[in-house]
Every structure is written in structure tokens, then in C-alpha cells.
Amino acid sequence: MHLLVLGLGYTAARFAAAFPGAVTAVRSRPGPDTLTLGDPALPGVIAAATHILSSVPPAASGDDPVLVAHGDAIAAAPARWVGYLSSTGVYGDAAGAWVDEAAPLNGRRSGRLAADEAWQALHPQARVFRLPGIYGPGRSALDRLRAGPVARIDLPGHVFSRVHVDDIVGAMLASLRRGAPGIYNLCDDEPAPGEAVTAFAAQLLGVAPAPLQTLDAAQLSPMGRAFYGECRRVANGKMTRDLGYDLRYPDYRDGLRACLGEMTS
């Protein structure tokens, strides 16, 4: 087995750590034991890889840099597993309704939509993993609170889905053993308001959460405000059923307790 990881970010790095000594990483900048997308050795690595994962998001132009540079090579590769980390943002606003893998796509980011669909069609062994808000050690509401006050938006009915990074890795590892190529939502069981997550994290840390405020009073960036313009509950039944994966952290409370344990150990 040899895993090629294109884009060694937070999630992909934790996945790669499950395969010590059997990984080639591609990053935006050259470094020890890594390649770049323009490295002349990369086509040969693609042809030799048994497993390929891309976590590279679309560029500002909307194009997927991996597909532009090496899409044809990946399409022709003999790899027996090809994974792409996409986003549940491709579903767009569902007015709080549940969405599964068969739901129509209506996201506001056309580049992400195009990449999601292109990776689905790229290779007969392609798995597209659609991810919601990702959290885990060093990247959770606990860390944000330790860095300073975190706004809590009072927007009744607004929820979003999330997933602990270790459950992403666990589900992807399960897909190596079981489950057909296709699309998989990877998320926990409990969509919840962001303000509730922040309040629970504050409780764990023994600090007072910020008071609730309206969306207008929060003076968020345009990107942050756009986030609150979408509301959906992401269903993970296919992950459980087809991959046979049972979540380690079924809700944010379990996940944040584990994050706190790692912070204090």
C-alpha cells in the first residue's frame, strides 16, 4: 500500500498518520519528504499510488488546482481507492431541513460545486466525503474561547452540523475496507446552534460565555454573515449503513470533552 496525499492540512494529516512510512505528501511549498503539484516526479507517484486523497480546495478562480494539473493522470491511475474532501456547503440552504447524499446541490460557491462533481466522475474508485464544520484538538470552541471572547448569535432555529476530525479519519479508514465508491456525508448525529456549542465549551472551561446578541449587533464579516444565511441538518445514515462506521463522538458534547482531555493531559 502507498498513499498519496494532495494537500496535507489538518484533516488529511491525521489520516496520513495512520499509514506511517507509506505516504507521499504534496504541499503548496516544497519541504522535506514532500512534493509540490509542479514536481516532475509527481506523475510517476500518481501512477504508482494504491490510494490517493485530495484535500485541496478550489482556488480563488474556482478551478481545482489538482484537477487542472493532474486530473488526467489521476483518472488513468490504477489506484484502488481515490478520496476527495468536499463540503456539505454544496447543499446550500435547506431552511433547517435534513439533507442526505441525494439532496439537490445549491451551494453558493460554484467552484466547490464543480470540484465535487468533477471528483465524482473522475475515477471509478472515487469517494467524495462531504464535511461540515470540522473540530478537534487545537481547533475547537475551547481553543477559540482561550484565545478571547467568542460571539454568540441569537438566531432561533438556526443550526449547523459538525464532525470531530477523528470521526472523519475513522469513517475514511472504514471506507478502505467497506463501502462502494460514491458520496458520503461525514458528520455527527446532532446538528446544533453555534451559540449552544460555545456555551458548553465555556462551561467546560469554567468561564462565563458571552451574552447572546443579534446578528446585526455582532458586526460579522461578510463571510461570517453568509454562514448564518444557510441552515441545514446533514444526515449521516449512509456513513453508518454502508461504511459500517460508529461515531466515537456522536455529538459536540462528547467531542469537546475529548478535546478538553487532550488539552489538559
Angle, CA of 110, 114 and 120, to the nearest 5°: 150
Range of the domain at 122: 80-264
Question: Does the residue 252 lie in any domain?
Answer: yes
Share of the chain above pLDDT 70, in %: 100
Long-range contacts of 27-36 (CB under 8 A, 24+ apart): 34/8
Residue 165 confidence (pLDDT): 98
In a domain, 162, yes or no: yes
Residue 177 lies in a domain: yes
Task: Average the pLDDT over 67-77 and give the result.
Answer: 98
40 found inside a domain = no
Give the closest residue to 167 by CA, choosing from 135, 142, 139: 135
User: How many structural domains is the chain composed of?
Assistant: 1
Return the CATH number at 145. Answer: 3.40.50.720
Place of cell 458534547: 253
Q: With 90 as the cut, is the pLDDT of residue 219 above it?
A: no
Tell me if 69 is assigned to some domain: no
Closest CA relative to residue 185, chosen from 242, 142, 110: 242
For residue 58, the model assigns a pLDDT of 95
In-domain check, residue 175: yes
Predicted confidence (pLDDT) per residue in 74-132, tens digit: 999 999 999 999 999 999 999 999 999 999 998 777 899 999 999 999 999 999 999 99
Return left, alpha or beta for 94; rule: phi > 0 is left, psi -120 to 50 is alpha, else beta.
alpha
120 is a domain residue: yes
Residue 251 has pLDDT above 80, yes or no: yes
Give the least confident one: 70-74, 165-169, 179-183, 217-221.
Answer: 217-221
Q: Is residue 241 included in any domain, yes or no?
A: yes
